[in-house]
Structure 1
Amino acid sequence: MRTRNIFNLRSRLSEVAKFRPRNYQYESLPSSTSIRLLELTPSAKSKAIYCSLKVFELQDAPAFDALSYTWAPIVSSKVSTTEPQYNDPENGISGRQCRYPITCDGQSILVTANLRNALQMLSKSIVAKREVTKQKYIWIDALCVNQEDITERNAQVANMAETFKAAQSVIVWLGEEDEFTADAVKVIEQISAIPETEWQSAGYTDFYKDDCYRKLQVQHLSYLNWLGFIAFVNRPWFKRAWVVQEIALAKSALLVCGRRVFPWDQLSKTLAFIKSTRWYHHLTTEKMRHISALENAPGAYKRILSTSADIAMAAMYLDRTRAHIATSGRLTPQSQNRQRKPSLRLLLETHRYCKSTDARDKVYAFLGLADRRLAPFKELPNALVPDYSMTAQELYLQVARAFLVSYGNLTLLSHVQDQSHTRIPNLPSWVPDYSVGLQPYPLRFRGACNWSASGDLYWKRNLRSMERGYLHVQGYQIDTIDEISTLRDESKDAADSWASCVRLALGLDDYYRTTSSDMRQLSRVEVLWRTLITDSFARQYPAPAHCGELFIDYIINLQIRHRLTPWSSDIEFQPHHSPLSKSTYPEWHALLSSEPEGSPYGVQLYERRLSEIVASMFKGTYSPIGLAQLQHEFDIAGGSMRRLFKTKNKYLGTGARSTQVGDELWVLAGAPVPFILRRLPRGTHQVVGEAYVHSIMHGEAAGMGLKLCSTALE
């Protein structure tokens, strides 16, 4: 009997093997404008997926929808050892990540878990006649394009914009629901229902007021609901490079998360409200974790509150680009000029945060959206054609050369990431690595500053040297850096960062050195706070004088916090076991005492304001919420990504995190802001990053009597 059973089992396995579908073999497309469309075979019972691929000329194709989703599979910590695994190190995918077979035209194609789930969702919706798709055909990049054929892939990527414009609708698959989805959907439903005319009734600080929602005539939203929304817009889909084009060009877009379905317009209105009220400043876990209601009852969000998550500007930028594309071609209200599509440079700058499995897609994903009448295509019409035989390093170098040649200035250098973040090997220091995000934002995004550090100096380009990987520049070598601050994450002592900033300020003269006799002399304290916020506050430049008063309040709050640290620890109260380092008490008193006579930042003002704050604390009337904007300015002006520095000739500035003692401060011809360069043994330089230096941001270097010199950046 046992022998017969073994024989029968072998027989059945042999029969299964005969009918096992072979790996899918793509046939070449008849032309560069041909596309494949997927036809699903709906199945209500089976989880197996059956489909067919049909070839059409794009202009003659039947009505179809397009699927937008994340390629990368959802990696679980509990990966089954019985599931098929795959590795694709060339495209940045590695590890134990599952692929699942589907049957297409009787042949087998392996797809990621996320795509399999999306296909099952579409199949079920067709059977149940749910309002997800009404079309017979769907375009899905991973299946409709032969990813192994580089020639086809190049052609299909070049035409992808036309494909998405032709689609009747774009279906966005965000993945399955989780424990946060219900909260997120409640926020979207409530906020999107608020008429735009009522938005002004919601103030900046109303986020913390319970009666705000009553004024807006919507249901009350809890902090837990808002945390759910933060989790929702931080799903991987929102940060994928290709979705920008897919959403921007969609005639209509539908978001699907598990069984929840809602139009993009609802999310768009929600994001617009958050932007209008500036509530995105409050929607960060670093701020929300200190709300007493969440400290006492975090619910399912305990883990999220321990991370550094925010509203994810990715979603806002995505919606802004969609709006920009939607209005392109229309007459602007101010003139008879037609609104243009965004330039390639603007797209790459705006969506630098995006992620892609293939680093080359951080450029290719935006070519179809860019206005071909603008730089770099206006001067170089044949530049930057999708070519997957090119390495990411070659592509990024090509992009940098195209921008430098077409714009004729060095603004591009402001988009070079900190050296510690560069991932693409052998990339010259003057070429942005688009495969990584850029933090903090370039200085020119700080508001209407109109910085012009190089004045009338014009950059003289050398095309031959750029071909060899060198960038020849001209300018003034201003000074050498001789002291730098400590960043917050570089010391266990919470006060050490501020202590180092105070030491740098104490090293300045009574009045800050200026290059022009008509410039107002500034004391140490004023130069310090203006430098730390790059002299910009709430997009105003220069920062208004009342920021100095806020800064004094900020100092007082810092000192109170540092003094109370050993008294508020979680361990048993033993103050003699908590020795305080010198830096716990930054030399604020010495700095304030050094202020010249008549300074609004002297010790007397400080002591008077300290008494007022302590008195209001005892009365229960003190609220430091007015410091929220100042803290926001500190964060976006540098935070942990720019450090304060002082030069030998006592200039104060902020520079890249990688700035070192001995680095050189330059004003380069054709660059709006100063730069920090690092001299190499052979006399050339590397770009460290841009710099804000008080009093040399508007062409003052030309009057300093310095010799114009040149160098090569590599």
Structure 2
Amino acid sequence: MDNVCTDQTTDFEYDVLDASQIRILQLDPGEEGDALTGELIITQLDNHTIEYDALSYMWGDPAPTDVLQTSSQALPIASNLKSALTHLRYKDKPLNIWVDAICIDQRNYTERAEQVQLMRRLYKSANMVRVWIDEPGIDETSEAMAALQNFPQNEIDPDGDHMGTVMQDLGDKPDFWDPVLPLFRNKYWSRAWIQQEVLNASQLNLHCGNISIPGRSLARFKQSFNWLFGFVMSSSDTYVRAWLEPCRAIICTRPVNDIGLNSAHRQTNSNLHDLLTMTTVACSKPQDHIYAIMHIARDYEEGGIQVNYSKTNYEVAVDAAYYHVQKHRDVRFLSNAYLRKPSGFRRRSKRSADETTWVPRSWCGYMEMTGLSVAMYDATLTLCSPNAVLPARRLLRLRGFQVDRADLCLTPGFDTRCPTVAEFWTSPLGHYLRNFAGANPQKLPVEAFRLLVQWDLLTKERYGRMLDIQGAKESKLSSREITKPVQEFSEQIELVAFHATISALKKMLDLAESPHHRHEKLYDDDKPNPHLLKNIDSFTMLAFQHIFHALNSSLVIMTGGQRLALVPECDFEKGDEVWVVMGCEVPVVLRPLPNGRYWHVCAANIPAIQEHELLQNLSSFIAPGDRVGEWMVKDIEVE
């Protein structure tokens, strides 16, 4: 489903499919060098009269280089598909296999849309999903490849000596696994359809050239690196950090993380909103960013979103938003939508006719940052109307109240260039924070701490690993002793985090006064500058990383009410309005328009608002004209 390859199928005539029918390729046996031959068989998907495998692969260059010969016609096929079928066919018996480029009439958009609706059932019904990866340079004879093929298939016991098991399986040489890393860096893993194909597989096998790797071995291999990654990220030890590169190659390949040890583990726990927000995939048609993902969402019901390739990507994204709001009565996707800065020096005065400011562009298939990392704090979540999305008009109807206005950016220019240590401290934000990190520091305001360091993202498990790594010198508490209730644990974490943040700011101020470090950049290639992180404990290092991340990916602004806010890199203007709206867990920044409607500029983390006592028990049933303290409730429409 990656491409529509009309030049391949121009002269090939397909028999018409009825509802719930599919075609299966019965691929004839053959030796290397033999021509590809076979027949297309039509069958009812749910009858299970024909057992079949399903192919998951990347189309690559769609230009035909060979043909599949049936009894009456020749179907042109592309190079990568030819290679896959040549390697996968049996030598002594036919192979029944479903292949999208062959079994769907790619010229027929009606059939294509109908077949997309069957994808989940089609892959679930297959005996095996065969993943084909075209990686010509892979060393099939390496010891690492043999070890991966024979990697243990049992699940790691989380209550046992899991790190001992992991290191026993992976060995003590990080570079041993270098020969297999190209498998995980292959462009195949960026395909839009891969997650659906992998998650719905009852059995999985990965093929590359003459190599075959059981899906369970692949899953266990991934699981081992998942356990290892937490230790690597929390350690400054040179040997441990040497595992970082293989860890990134393995666990940062998202679809690999979806390969569970059994079919139950391959079922996603994510709903459609989360999948669309977290997933960055490549697809030739932007509509497929949603159509390829929706069937694996936990909350998706068959037919909930009608496949229609005549719609634009924005219209399909609006359909997805409508489905989400009907299901969940929230508009939390506003956290991932933001108004992009215009190119050049011109201010934004209009948007394209098709664009909607409130739909995340990532939902529309654009490879962009996902917006704001939401800090939940203690605010009460509210519900919006199930009819908040107006699909025909592409409008979002919100109920809420204005609480503030945007005023001053405290990190000017940080979104276009990386500041040095000295530039950070001479910025408006640096001047503000200097009062809390100098020789006689004032107490750091809680809102500043929570804005820069979202310590709520630190789990008990990672906290325990950090304590273990720091050792007895820094703490008498080990990870196995962390048994306190969540509330008490959260308070303990926040206290540790607060002191670590003060320590990090003091360290940064010391660096600014050092002639050797004051002109060092805070981060390098989107990662904290390692030269600035020497000789500090794990918690201070983590505070550094949080602060650097906030500065690298967001803007810090001051509102008219003197409240600190963290917003994504967006086209905010002085005077934009800050609203609390029903169904969104964070405040949003909106721009009033002459026609009485609004543009959505971005979402904002504003601790002083999110923790406001009036919002702790805010009712979802407030009506226009009601007051929440001094704020008046209104209904508004967002374009």
Q: What TM-score comes out, normalization by structure 2 length?
A: 0.74
Name 1:436's counterpart in structure 2. Answer: 366
- Measured on the aligned residues, the alpha-carbon RMSD in Å equals 4.6
Letter in 1 for 2:18: S
Contact 1:461–1:472, Cα closer than 8 Å, also in 2: no
Which structure's relative contact order is higher, taking Cα pairs within 8 Å and 6+ residues apart? 2
Q: 2:500 aligned with 1:544, yes or no? A: no
Letter in 1 for 2:282: K
**Deviation at 1:628?**
4.7
Name 1:279's counterpart in structure 2. Answer: 230
Letter in 1 for 2:259: D
Q: 2:564 aligned with 1:652, yes or no? A: yes
Q: Distance in 1 between matches of 2:261 and 2:570?
A: 32
**Deviation at 1:639?**
5.9
Name 1:479's counterpart in structure 2. Answer: 404
Q: Distance in 2 between matches of 1:293 and 1:162?
A: 43
**Deviation at 1:23?**
5.2
Letter in 2 for 1:27: Y
Contact 1:72–1:114, Cα closer than 8 Å, also in 2: yes
Letter in 2 for 1:653: A
Offset from partner CA, 1:598-645 (integer Å, 9 cap, x none) = xxxxxxxxxxxxxxxx9x98xxxx45444454355457x646332222
Name 2:113's counterpart in structure 1. Answer: 154
Letter in 1 for 2:21: S
Contact 2:181–2:250, Cα closer than 8 Å, also in 1: yes
| Partner residue of 1:33 out of 17, 20, 30 | 20
| Partner residue of 1:531 out of 429, 451, 456 | 451
Cα separation, partners in 2 of 1:319 and 1:690, compared to 1, 3 Å: farther
| Partner residue of 1:498 out of 415, 419, 424 | 424
1:89-488 → structure 2 map (5 Å cutoff): 98-105=63-70, 107-123=73-89, 126-127=90-91, 136-178=95-137, 185=145, 188=148, 192=152, 196-197=156-157, 201=161, 216-218=167-169, 220-225=171-176, 231-279=182-230, 282=233, 311-312=251-252, 314-315=254-255, 317-319=257-259, 343-350=271-278, 352-370=279-297, 374=299, 377=301, 383-416=304-337, 419=340, 426-433=354-361, 434=363, 435-436=365-366, 439=369, 443-444=373-374, 449=376, 451-452=378-379, 459-460=384-385, 466-484=391-409, 485-486=411-412
Cα separation, partners in 2 of 1:640 and 1:680, compared to 1, 3 Å: farther
Q: Distance in 1 between matches of 2:391 and 2:23?
A: 41
**Deviation at 1:194?**
8.0
Cα separation, partners in 2 of 1:549 and 1:346, compared to 1, 3 Å: closer
Letter in 1 for 2:126: A
Q: Distance in 2 between matches of 1:559 and 1:508?
A: 10
Letter in 1 for 2:636: T
**Deviation at 1:383?**
3.5
Letter in 1 for 2:560: K
Cα separation, partners in 2 of 1:467 and 1:191, compared to 1, 3 Å: same
1:63 is paired with a residue whose SS is: coil
**Deviation at 1:466?**
4.9
Contact 2:135–2:182, Cα closer than 8 Å, also in 1: no
Letter in 2 for 1:100: T
Contact 2:113–2:307, Cα closer than 8 Å, also in 1: yes
Q: Distance in 1 between matches of 2:227 and 2:218?
A: 14
Cα separation, partners in 2 of 1:699 and 1:382, compared to 1, 3 Å: farther
- Structure 1 stretches lacking a partner, 5+ long: 1-20, 74-96, 204-211, 329-340, 512-521, 568-579, 586-613
Letter in 2 for 1:469: R
Q: Distance in 2 between matches of 1:157 and 1:319?
A: 22
Cα separation, partners in 2 of 1:359 and 1:684, compared to 1, 3 Å: same
Offset from partner CA, 1:133-192 (integer Å, 9 cap, x none) = x76211101111001112211222212222222211111002225358858747746874
Q: Distance in 1 between matches of 2:253 and 2:378?
A: 25
**Deviation at 1:693?**
1.0
With 483-492 and 60-69 compared, the bigger mean Cα shift is at 483-492
**Deviation at 1:677?**
2.0
Offset from partner CA, 1:628-687 (integer Å, 9 cap, x none) = 54355457x646332222112221121111153413322112221111223334443222
**Deviation at 1:525?**
5.9
1:53 is paired with a residue whose SS is: strand
Cα separation, partners in 2 of 1:466 and 1:438, compared to 1, 3 Å: same
Name 2:485's counterpart in structure 1. Answer: none
Cα separation, partners in 2 of 1:490 and 1:497, compared to 1, 3 Å: farther
Letter in 2 for 1:430: W
Offset from partner CA, 1:48-77 (integer Å, 9 cap, x none) = 43333232333254221111011233xxxx
| Partner residue of 2:56 out of 39, 60, 68 | 68
Cα separation, partners in 2 of 1:640 and 1:149, compared to 1, 3 Å: same
Contact 2:402–2:579, Cα closer than 8 Å, also in 1: yes
Contact 1:506–1:524, Cα closer than 8 Å, also in 2: no
Q: Distance in 2 between matches of 1:467 and 1:359?
A: 20
1:504 is paired with a residue whose SS is: helix
2:42 is paired with a residue whose SS is: strand
Offset from partner CA, 1:21-62 (integer Å, 9 cap, x none) = 995422232412222221334443426433332323332542
Q: Distance in 1 between matches of 2:540 and 2:431?
A: 24
**Deviation at 1:343?**
4.2
**Deviation at 1:479?**
1.9
1:658 is paired with a residue whose SS is: coil
Contact 2:408–2:558, Cα closer than 8 Å, also in 1: yes
Structure number with higher helix proportion: 1
Contact 1:674–1:692, Cα closer than 8 Å, also in 2: yes
Cα separation, partners in 2 of 1:469 and 1:490, compared to 1, 3 Å: same
Structure (1 or 2) with the larger CA radius of gyration: 1
Name 1:590's counterpart in structure 2. Answer: none
Q: Distance in 2 between matches of 1:309 and 1:196?
A: 20
Q: How many residues align?
A: 564
Letter in 1 for 2:255: A
Contact 2:222–2:251, Cα closer than 8 Å, also in 1: no
**Deviation at 1:550?**
2.2
Q: Distance in 1 between matches of 2:33 and 2:186?
A: 28
Q: Distance in 2 between matches of 1:711 and 1:145?
A: 45
**Deviation at 1:692?**
1.0
Cα separation, partners in 2 of 1:242 and 1:292, compared to 1, 3 Å: closer
Contact 1:665–1:675, Cα closer than 8 Å, also in 2: yes
Cα separation, partners in 2 of 1:632 and 1:195, compared to 1, 3 Å: farther
Q: Distance in 1 between matches of 2:231 and 2:11?
A: 47
Q: Distance in 2 between matches of 1:160 and 1:398?
A: 19
Letter in 1 for 2:355: L
**Deviation at 1:226?**
5.5
Q: What TM-score comes out, normalization by structure 1 length?
A: 0.67
Q: Distance in 1 between matches of 2:170 and 2:195?
A: 32
Offset from partner CA, 1:267-303 (integer Å, 9 cap, x none) = 212222333444386499xx99x989979xx9xx9xx
Letter in 1 for 2:174: Y
Letter in 2 for 1:51: G
Q: Percent sequence identity over matched residues?
A: 19
1:274 is paired with a residue whose SS is: helix
Q: Distance in 2 between matches of 1:172 and 1:280?
A: 31
Offset from partner CA, 1:549-593 (integer Å, 9 cap, x none) = 3224434554566677868xxxxxxxxxxxx77x989xxxxxxxx
Q: Distance in 2 between matches of 1:531 and 1:553?
A: 16
Contact 1:537–1:544, Cα closer than 8 Å, also in 2: no
